[in-house]
Amino acid sequence: MSNHVFAYGRYRCEYELLREPRKTVRLAVRPDQSILMRCPANARSEQIDNFLKRKWVWINKQRRYFRQFCHEVIPKEYVSGESYLYLGRQYQLIVRRSVREAVVMERGKITVRANGEVNIEKQVAQLLNAWYRKRCVIIFGERLQEISRSFGITAPKLRVKKMDKRWGSFVRGEMIILNPRLILASKDCIDYVITHELCHFSHRRHDKKFYRLLDKKYPGWEKIKEKLEIRLGAEGVLDV
């Protein structure tokens, strides 16, 4: 993959070019407004440039669409009144001092009981993030078991691991890795990522066979993927 610059009149943008053993050109604008172009390995620079000239209005429209969802990420302070995502819904954080530490979710609120007298925000952060990590293991495990049954296979091992650029990954046909930030997303988004990774057990590359299987197992996955990346792209990062 290589980086290039496309210029047409006053319009100018950077894009990534991936040459593959394919017959057609595929152009994608990601939610972060970056552009990826997949083309045949023997495509000439002139052909690529002419294709982009025909598509620059569409590219500009897509980037404007995604730009409206770009917000400044505000760091969490772990104080009462803040809003936190869990399974696609917003919950208000309530912090209470208590002898016994606990995290309880009910009636649209997440209540954290902390006994710290000094730097209580740090303690709230530790308790809340530990609760999120436990919910990752439980929810991801339940969804993996159910979706694996729909594939007619035994659920592979599950690992939850922070990843900067991926929602999920598969390892040598025996394990899938899921990004803990998925716990902030709705279950249809979690199901999409798990389904995507399970499809890799049959087709390791993102080729036509892979996408045919993904279309069969999760019709309409494109809209779910877009919702996932737009929704969580603007959410403050939790240390889960």
Encode pLDDT of 47-79 as tens digits.
998 899 888 888 888 887 777 665 555 678 888
Note whether residue 78 is domain-resident: no
CA–CA gap between residue 193 and residue 196 (Å, rounded): 5
- Same domain? For 20 and 101 the reply is no
- Same domain? For 61 and 150 the reply is no
Note whether residue 147 is domain-resident: yes
Asked which of 17, 33, 67 is the last residue of a domain, the reply is 67
Q: Is 187 left (phi over 0), alpha (psi -120 to 50) or beta?
A: alpha
- Same domain? For 61 and 88 the reply is no
Note whether residue 13 is domain-resident: yes
Note whether residue 73 is domain-resident: no
Helical pair 187-199 and 221-233, crossing angle rounded to 10 deg? 120
- Report helix, strand and coil shares of the chain as percent, to nearest 5: 40, 25, 35
What's the confidence (pLDDT) of residue 189?
A: 94
Note whether residue 72 is domain-resident: no
If residue 213 lies in a helix (H) or strand (E), which one and from where to where? helix 208-217
Label the pairing between strands 2-8 and 11-20.
antiparallel
Which pTM does this prediction carry?
A: 0.70
Asked which of 12, 42, 67 is the last residue of a domain, the reply is 67
- Same domain? For 91 and 59 the reply is no
- Same domain? For 38 and 124 the reply is no
- Same domain? For 195 and 161 the reply is yes
Number of domains in the chain: 2
What's the confidence (pLDDT) of residue 240?
A: 42
What's the confidence (pLDDT) of residue 3?
A: 84
Tell me the pLDDT band of 231, cut-offs 50, 70 and 90. low
Which amino acid is located at 238 in the chain?
L
Torsions phi, psi for 176 (to 5 deg): -120, 145
Q: Let me know: does 184 contact 110? Beta carbons within 8 Å.
A: no
pLDDT above 90 as % of the chain: 39
CA–CA gap between residue 230 and residue 236 (Å, rounded): 13
Tell me the pLDDT band of 139, cut-offs 50, 70 and 90. very high
CA–CA gap between residue 66 and residue 11 (Å, rounded): 18
Q: Among all chains, which residue has been given the structure tokens 């049959």?
A: 202
Tell me which of 62-66, 77-81, 134-138, 181-185 is least confident.
62-66
Q: Which domain range does residue 48 map to?
A: 2-67
Note whether residue 74 is domain-resident: no
Q: Among all chains, which residue has been given the structure tokens 């409206």?
A: 68
Tell which wins on pLDDT, 73 or 18.
18
- Same domain? For 42 and 88 the reply is no
Note whether residue 113 is domain-resident: yes
- Same domain? For 176 and 207 the reply is yes
* DSSP bridge partners of 178: 160, 168
